[in-house]
Amino acid sequence: MTELIAPNVVAASTRSDRRRKLLQNLLRGERPYMLYIAFVVLLVVFSLSSPWFLSVDNFLNIGRQTTLVSIIAVGMTFVIIARQIDLSVASTLALSGMAAALAMSQINNSWIVGAVAGLGTGALVGLLNGILTTQLSIPSFLVTLGSLSMARGLAMMVTNTKPVIITNETYFAIFGEGSFLGIPVPIAWTLVAMIVGILLLHYNVFGRRIYAVGGNPTAALYSGINTKWVTTAAFVLTGTLAGLAALVLSARSHAARPDVVQGMELDVIAAVILGGCSLFGGRGYILGTLFGSLIIGTLNNGLVLLGVSSPLQLVIKGAIIVAAVAFTKR
């Protein structure tokens, strides 16, 4: 397996220095190749055991199924690198979806209003998480455990737990059902989130600060970095991305429901950790997160194709995640 990857890297480095720098930036990590090897092994195993697995349609399927987790996991990567955790993302998604659908139904049935309401609600929840964590020094585990419950409760209260139907065709096309350059829009949005994440984390000033705050908060403070602001910004980013995921989900199902994606925060966190982020902060990279998310998605998909019962799927998935983290931890 190692030979599969190594020649590419060598070739890239001989071709030009820039290319190598780019690869280094994207593939960074303690044991960068373990993750990709694990992914390839998974693909090989499922291809051999199921005739339906290896097809363009099925891969698009996996892509679509992992969209929500992948989009939010980009934000979670920032939060975890900054030594925090956000448990509220699934509830934030539900609340943002309700906000988007209700706003549209109240104001002109305009997709722009829906998008702004969805993203804004997500950002607001993130802002509250960040402010409570940094200004009151409450551990983010507790803050977001609280907002997990509150956001879900609010989402259910606004319509007394009833779903809100969406009728705007443009909204469906932009966020759920259309395609952009031949790519289904949910996957396109995932790519957008990824690229923004890579630019922010690996090329932007903000990324440097995130790594420093997570790597050693005291040293960051002594270097004049506003650690509270940086941490808060990571939460806002995650909330906003949960809002984006809400737009994608509601556009795909033509409705917002307050009880969607319960427990998804665990998949998101698992994806980020599988992708090589350290729960102790200061380490992680976006492409790793994408692969972490793809591994989880591929597992879900492959196990279904193999006809594994859904309770057993849960057990296998959990075991594989723990084993993978045990192998890749520092």
If binding is defined by CB under 8 A, does position 195 make contact with other proteins? no
If binding is defined by CB under 8 A, does position 218 make contact with other proteins? yes
**One of 216, 253, 300, 313 touching other proteins (CB under 8 A):** 216
CB 213 within 8 A of CB 227: yes
Q: Find the part of the chain contacting other proteins (CB under 8 A) among 129-137, 180-188, 211-219, 265-273.
A: 211-219
**One of 208, 253, 279, 317 touching other proteins (CB under 8 A):** 208
If binding is defined by CB under 8 A, does position 212 make contact with other proteins? yes
Kindly report the backbone phi and psi dihedral angles of residue 305, in degrees, each rounded to the nearest multiple of 5, phi listed first: -60, -35
If binding is defined by CB under 8 A, does position 199 make contact with other proteins? yes
If binding is defined by CB under 8 A, does position 205 make contact with other proteins? yes
CB 114 within 8 A of CB 121: no
CA dihedral 278, 280, 282, 288 (to 10 degrees): 10
The DSSP 8-state label assigned to residue 18 in this structure reads: H
Two tokens, residue 292: 């972490």
The number of angstroms, rounded, from the C-alpha of 122 to the middle of its chain's C-alpha atoms is 14
Output 210 or 269, the one with its CB closest to other proteins. 210
If binding is defined by CB under 8 A, does position 219 make contact with other proteins? yes
- Cα gap 287→235, rounded to integer Å: 20
Element containing residue 102 per DSSP (H, E) = helix 89-106
Output 227 or 238, the one with its CB closest to other proteins. 227
- Cα gap 262→152, rounded to integer Å: 9
Q: Find the part of the chain contacting other proteins (CB under 8 A) among 100-108, 198-206, 245-253, 312-320.
A: 198-206
**Minimum distance from CB of 270 to other proteins (Å)?**
23
**Minimum distance from CB of 54 to other proteins (Å)?**
39
CB 244 within 8 A of CB 70: no
If binding is defined by CB under 8 A, does position 204 make contact with other proteins? yes
- Cα gap 126→122, rounded to integer Å: 6
Backbone torsion region of residue 182, taken as left when φ is above 0, otherwise alpha when ψ lies between -120 and 50, otherwise beta:
left
Site for other proteins in 252-291 (CB under 8 A): 282-283
If binding is defined by CB under 8 A, does position 135 make contact with other proteins? no
If binding is defined by CB under 8 A, does position 16 make contact with other proteins? no
**Minimum distance from CB of 216 to other proteins (Å)?**
4
Q: 145: which residues sit within 8 A by CB, 6+ positions away? A: 87, 88
Site for other proteins in 220-249 (CB under 8 A): 220-226
Output 47 or 216, the one with its CB closest to other proteins. 216
**Minimum distance from CB of 220 to other proteins (Å)?**
7
If binding is defined by CB under 8 A, does position 18 make contact with other proteins? no
Q: What are the beta bridge partners of residue 183?
A: 180
Beta strand 164-165 with 255-256: parallel, antiparallel or unpaired?
antiparallel
Q: Which residues bind other proteins (CB under 8 A)?
A: 21, 199, 203-209, 211-212, 215-216, 218-226, 282-283
